[in-house]
Amino acid sequence: MHRSYHRWDSPALGRSMELLVFGHGGAPCLVFPTSMGRFFEFEDRGMVAALSHQLEQGWLQLICVDSIDAETWYNYGWDTNARLFRHDQFEHYLLTEVLPFVHSINSDQYLMATGCSWGAMHAVNLTLRHPGVVKRVIGLSGLYDIRRFFSTYTDSVYFHNPVDFVAGMDDQWRLDRLRETDIILATGRDDPNVESNHRLSGVLWGKGVGNALRIWDGWSHDWPYWVRMINQYISGHD
């Protein structure tokens, strides 16, 4: 299996960023780590190995990015707007640096995104905030109401909180792009995040945006479950 390490100094973030690429072709998939996780987490936790057949056959390519969560969502020493401005810089890094890099090594335009737990929030938020960029998103055990991370509710929180900004979205071009997106939300029935999955799914349907909400038995918030989930949903199987 092809595996390559990449590192560069990011103009958007003013710091060095790293990522790993697995696979030599096929649909590219951005992979976000869990809370304050690293770019090598997907490999270390067996998720890459679980997808080895798809990767070796050239059906799928994983681009495992790093996080700066300690500077944004978990940076409680900064005020709300400063933390979310830093996250905007992270999104700018993804859109203007990572995606052009992906396109330079892979001509397939069917971009996917996925992540587990907080990584699911990253994948889904990027997809919803920038309609048309991601063609299929797979959120595994994600949290889609981020208000508890902030002591104040500002416009910045609203525009980064999926259950809120999707409910208020009225731009038909953006909604049409989301209607063309394959959105899969999978979580456990006993997962504390399950309510936000139900809410986001309902908000999307209320805007005419189809999505697949898949509720698994039990807690289902751990790597052995995510291995099964990613294998089930990465190829679009229900």
CA distance 128 to 125: 5
Q: What is the pLDDT of residues 23-78, one digit of tens each?
A: 999 999 999 999 999 999 999 999 999 999 999 999 999 999 999 999 999 999 99
Domains of the chain (ranges, CATH numbers) = 3-233 (3.40.50.1820)
CA distances for 216 relative to 4, 192, 200, 224, angstroms: 34, 13, 17, 13
**Quick one: pLDDT at residue 198?**
98
Q: What is the pLDDT of residues 92-137, one digit of tens each?
A: 999 999 999 999 999 999 999 999 999 999 999 999 999 999 999 9
Global pTM value: 0.97
**Quick one: pLDDT at residue 237?**
52
**Quick one: pLDDT at residue 238?**
55
DSSP 136-193: EEEEES-----GGG-SS--HHHHTT-HHHHTTT---HHHHHHHHTSEEEEEEETT-TT
**Quick one: pLDDT at residue 235?**
74
Q: What is the pLDDT of residues 146-177, one digit of tens each?
A: 999 999 999 999 999 999 999 999 999 999 99
CA distance 162 to 32: 17
Helices (H) and strands (E) in the chain, counts: 11, 8
